[in-house]
Amino acid sequence: MGKTDEPPDLLPGTLDLLVLKTLQRGVMHGYGIAQHLRTASDEVVQVGESSLYPALQRLLLNGYVKAEWGASENNRRARYYTLTAAGRKQLASERQEFDRLIAAIQKVLATS
């Protein structure tokens, strides 16, 4: 469930990883996460609400992040997400897995 909701141009599971990585920088709201993903990836990763928010809910369900309401920079109510201990662990292991996968893909691509 949920895996199919990711943008088609991302590898499965990658969005969750990117969100976790982004939250490692500190507390952020959904819009901030989307912004960060866009700028940090030089506009390559454009995540719409229809995939970002389900991903956040998935992380909430798994207990990797927790959410709190707070005031935003323009004084509106916004929901801020924080990485939990479980989330940090998950990030580490997913990151490792991802690196392994990327290395494998590159290895395949390198063969002529």
Residue selected from 72, 82, 93, 96 as contacting another protein according to rule CB under 8 A? 72
Give yes or no for residue 93 binding another protein (CB under 8 A): no
DSSP 4: G
Dihedral over alpha carbons 83, 34, 68, 74 (to 10 degrees)? 140
Give yes or no for residue 48 binding another protein (CB under 8 A): yes
Of the candidate spans 17-25, 45-53, 93-101, 103-111, the one that interacts with another protein by CB under 8 A turns out to be: 45-53
Of the candidate spans 7-15, 20-28, 72-80, 96-104, the one that interacts with another protein by CB under 8 A turns out to be: 72-80
108 Cβ contact list (under 8 Å, min separation 6): none
Q: Which is nearer to another protein, 77 or 107 (CB)?
A: 77
CA–CA separation, 43 and 18 (whole Å): 14
